[in-house]
Chain A
Amino acid sequence: MSITLVLFLIVVGITLVITAWAARRTRTTVQFWAAGRTIKGWQNGLAIAGDYMSAASFLGIAGLIAFNGYDGFMYSVGWLVAYLTVLFLIAEPMRNTGKYTMADVLSYRMSPVPVRSAAAISTVAVSASYMMAQMIGAGSLIKILLPDLDKNLRPYFDWAIFGTKLDPSIALVGLMMMIYVIVGGMVATTWVQIVKAVLLMGGAILLSLLVLFYFNFNFLAFFDKIHSVKDSATKLPFTSPGILYPYGKATIWGVDKALVENVSLGMALILGTAGLPHILMRFFTVPNAKAARTSVAWAMGLIGSFYVMTTFLGFGAAALIGKANICAQVVSGFKCAPGLKPNNNMSMPRLADFLGSYFFGTTGGEFLLAFIAAVAFATILAVVAGLTLAASSAFSHDFYVNVVRTHLFHGTVSEREQVLVARITAALVGLLSIWLAAKTGATANVAALVAGVAFVIAASANLPAILFTLFWKRFNTWGAVASLVGGTVVTIWLVAVGPGWTLPAVAHPAFPLQNVGIVAIPVGFVLAIVGTYVGELFKADRLAELRFHEIDVRAQTGVGAEASPMPA
């Protein structure tokens, strides 16, 4: 075993111990979720940052910038500005209506059976696609730490599921994470996310400082170096926009296709966050609307600072290593080992390896690589825990308990039964995401994947349902179900027939854009509106309008908001 692997395992081990300790401490002192009563704004802000910044932020954006220069930075910008949508429209009303899951807020006004079923579908779709990218990110780390694993395990993975052979590294690490999350309890508690957010910020600050130190903190010299890195296809310097989606190459609907891709991406980025079930759940843990607001402010400070640093990290990797040399195994002089293809998800660990070696010698490189890989792994594990919790609570709590058992097969549900259903859901979502990860391929960028699928479903299915439930009096069950199911289906369908992120790219996809938000998000909103009017036509669900008055007053003022929103 290499020193790096041993160090990696030690750091991950320490993280897991801290996590387990923090989780147990929470469980015994303040009854687990009831910690909600005492979670302060800044603590919840850290936790939001922890839940939000996944492999997509830590590995993905740096990779996009390292391989495509400036255009990758658009992800950072969008994912911060997204919090204005959350702050202005979502955070306080969600806290004031004070329920346990997203579907609880919806079923305030709507007929519970269809709305909870539909919300379970969209939540599981968001979580599975989000988790798919986390699996790819974790797989990339394992491929760096154990470069021969894929080759050695290949014979055991030489079978296909629905025409896709599993990727050995992704399958192995994915299964391990699922077992940890399921057996160890789905503890996406606030403290787990706080520990992880601190680690992630620490890792990013350390690497950023080293990059800048390499250039003696001379920004102009740093940008001179980035400017000297040129894209081979467009001949543009890496400081320039237009490499990821080259301008002036093709048009769509009479407009430059690259422009449409960027606007479409931007829509998913700034509207998707407000519809992410695992982020929305965080607003139920604070005592009141004021704390919800404060926690968004803290989250914006942390997330924004991190995203500014992505330019040091991504540009640093491009300038110091170069995209051709970022892959699972490197030989002397930081060149790719023969026969390996570059993988942009590996830019951060490779940068750590390079900077460590440059400043502290070979052992320093191994240590820094181990540290950053461990931070990335802890990041992924915490996000997987949060996503698993969101998916399994949507399915177990919203669908199984409140639909299947309460309305279809009457009877009481034991806690054992609920936990069992939650665990089975978690396992199935995990397996689905491992399969999707293998189908997408290990070199697909994790940030592009999350923004391209999970955020679009969140923006087209969940956001219209939430916004209209809170602010539109006429909105009813039909509209909610239409957007929740329709937005999910339309997004998945457009992505499935589109060019996708698997390389080599599909030559003539049925839908021309990688980022489908520009079509899917308006479709989601239109479906919500049309569904509402069709529902009115059938005179269905007249109670939704009657109940609007209550949610309106509660959302705006916090009248009757629950003091302790989370169940024990």
Chain B
Amino acid sequence: MKEIFTIVFRLTVSCLLAGLVMGAGLMLTDKAKQRNEHAHEQQVMLSLLGYSKANPPPAELELHEIYRYVVEGADQLSVAYLLPVPEGFTFVNIGLDGNFLNQVPVALSEENVVKPADRGSAILAALGSGKSIRFVDQTIIVTRGASRMAYLLPGEFPGFKTFIKVILAVAPDFTVLGLEIMEHEEDPGLGGEIVKDYFKGQFEGKSFATLRTLDVTKRPIPDEYRRALESEKSDLGENEIGEIRRLYQDKDIYALTGATISSKAVTNGVKAIVKKFAYRISVLDRVLAEEEIDVSF
């Protein structure tokens, strides 16, 4: 009987030690890891817009991040956006019925706005007491000169096992420009194939109207389409690739073999992100126009 206590004691101590080592590891590496992820995200965003090292983005290209929050007051719930304006940042509060409530300027620097904790406390300070806020998501509006070029929508949705994190690039008319899978834990070789060009490339060029009714088909992907999507490997000319892609532009998504659930998850996830965003940005734009708020994008 005495032995069992020794065993329990020693196992507990070993677990605590292991926890300490892992915790120390996390503390030392977490910042660097987040920095890497941020840098990687930036790179992915630029590549979704069609830029690379060989084809650098023009100087007048600007990325404006807008942050969406849910604000809880004494008796009401509202949606609010932290928006960049020429003289800093402003927090625009919109009711659930889509009507403008109020706006407050927020004192934040360009460096601190990307830090969630600093951003949250600055907004709370600007709002005054009695309110609480919850961060929901962020959107990046890409402008070139005075006109909007694209929206970048980071998002996540449930996959076969856990959440799939993506970044979606859409044009101002909500045509999908590109899809990148940032994080997933689908089965390797089956659902894991969602990261391959011949799957995620199928979303490119889908118009908003097509996207609304987009479905997944279990028919095998036609050979010529697959070759056009895997443009790095194929021997097709650029014009041919464009032509074949246009041919399938309004067709449904061809499911991955043996991974219908993952294919459907991504398709529905992309649809939901774009549809919800299209509604939100229309509300936001209307409010900004009505209230004549001068924003940077």
Are chains A and B native binding partners rather than an unrelated pairing?
Answer: no
